[in-house]
């Protein structure tokens, strides 16, 4: 259950990062409200998950989902440039997170 919380928190992190971009420096109300909502939800779920998970692997999964998800959303919906290097880099984030999980640090 704790890992599910981390995964949902990572998806919410993607949401708050995208809303931060769309808020145009907090000058647009609804994206700013979305940012605050997604951020509180993301940090809240991460905090709950850390009651039973080690911080290193949990944080790595959270930030990996957030960073990779944000880059993918940016490329698909925000018109950001797509390149082989970006796609390889997102893959490396995924490999690193899986490596942390397989290292035995998370029980």
User: What are the residue boundaries of the structural domains of the chain, listed by start?
Assistant: 2-102
DSSP 8-state symbol, 54: -
Mean pLDDT of all residues belonging to the chain: 94
- Flag whether pLDDT at 105 surpasses 90: no
Q: How far is CA 35 from CA 18, 30, 47, 70, 102, in A?
A: 8, 8, 18, 13, 33
- Residue 101's pLDDT is 77
In this prediction the pTM is 0.89
The span from the CA of 74 to the CA of 63, in Å, is: 16
Give the end-to-end CA distance of the chain in Å, rounded to a whole number: 13
């Amino acid at each position: 259950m704790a890992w599910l919380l981390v995964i949902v928190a990572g998806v919410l992190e993607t949401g708050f990062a995208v809303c931060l971009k769309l808020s145009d420096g907090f000058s647009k109300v609804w994206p700013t409200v979305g940012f605050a909502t997604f951020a509180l939800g993301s940090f809240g779920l991460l905090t709950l998950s850390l009651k039973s998970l080690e911080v290193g692997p949990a944080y790595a999964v959270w930030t990996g989902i957030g960073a990779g998800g944000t880059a993918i959303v940016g490329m698909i919906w925000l018109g950001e440039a797509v390149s082989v290097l970006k796609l390889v880099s997102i893959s490396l984030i995924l490999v690193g997170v899986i490596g942390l999980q397989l290292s035995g640090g998370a029980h």
